[in-house]
Chain A
Amino acid sequence: QKEVEQNSGPLSVPEGAIASLNCTYSDRGSQSFFWYRQYSGKSPELIMSIYSNGDKEDGRFTAQLNKASQYVSLLIRDSQPSDSATYLCAVNRNSGNTPLVFGKGTRLSVIA
């Protein structure tokens, strides 16, 4: 059973702080890794994708991947109340349109 594990939270951080979200996966064949943001009652929105070991930065977001440890994380710098949402980690095998396997998500609350 291919699994993706996330702490359900809630993770509470003060405004302006760094929020750190973590994810582990069981399928060593996973090649593509994604972070989706989901506001309450809305659909998931793709915010970051990462495919190689190391860091990938996009604005206030940094995704980190360590395939040897089967670990992927998302850092949100200068957290804002508008970042309060559930963050879903998703992985899939490379090549073609393989299904995404999701974790249950981590609920982030940024306190003003």
Chain B
Amino acid sequence: DAGVTQSPTHLIKTRGQQVTLRCSPKSGHDTVSWYQQALGQGPQFIFQYYEEEERQRGNFPDRFSGHQFPNYSSELNVNALLLGDSALYLCASSLVGRVYNEQFFGPGTRLTVL
């Protein structure tokens, strides 16, 4: 049973650049949620994709955008990177229609902005 996968594992960018992070959900799941985890903090919800549309969004600026593909995989794009965007970016997958929403995380992408 394939778990959630993310790429790349680590990424170093400079301020003002753009970055794309990728996620493949757990086998059988159809929904992808993205979270940002700063050092010493709990994960913060960025947005969620289901049926190739953004369904819900947290308190993040429009510099953060995403996409979901027909195979349920997803991308997170961040434009005009700021130093404060340095964090662990987590992708979580789940299955819509489940009464209880268990979300399973991938290994994450560590983004460092210099």
Using A95-B99, A96-B96 as known contacts, say yes or no to A101 and B45 having CB atoms under 8 A apart: yes
A 4-31 binary contact with B (CB < 8 Å = 1; else 0):
1000000000000000000000000000
CB pair B100 A103 closer than 8 Å:
no
CB pair B56 A104 closer than 8 Å:
no
CB pair B42 A97 closer than 8 Å:
no
A 60-78 binary contact with B (CB < 8 Å = 1; else 0):
0000000000000000000
Residue with the highest number of chain A CB atoms closer than 10 Å, among B56, B99, B101:
B101
Of B33, B45, B94, B105, the residue contacting A44 (CB under 8 A) is B105
Q: How many A-B residue pairs have CB under 8 A?
A: 67
Which B residues are within 8 Å of any A CB, using their own CB? 31, 33, 35, 40-45, 48, 50, 55-56, 58, 88, 90, 92, 94, 96, 99-108
* Given pairs A43-B90, A45-B105, A99-B48, 18 additional interface contacts (CB within 8 A): A32-B100, A43-B107, A44-B43, A44-B105, A46-B104, A90-B42, A92-B101, A94-B99, A94-B101, A96-B96, A97-B31, A98-B101, A99-B58, A100-B33, A100-B45, A100-B92, A101-B45, A105-B42
Which A residues are within 8 Å of any B CB, using their own CB? 4, 32, 34, 36, 42-46, 49, 51, 88, 90, 92, 94-105
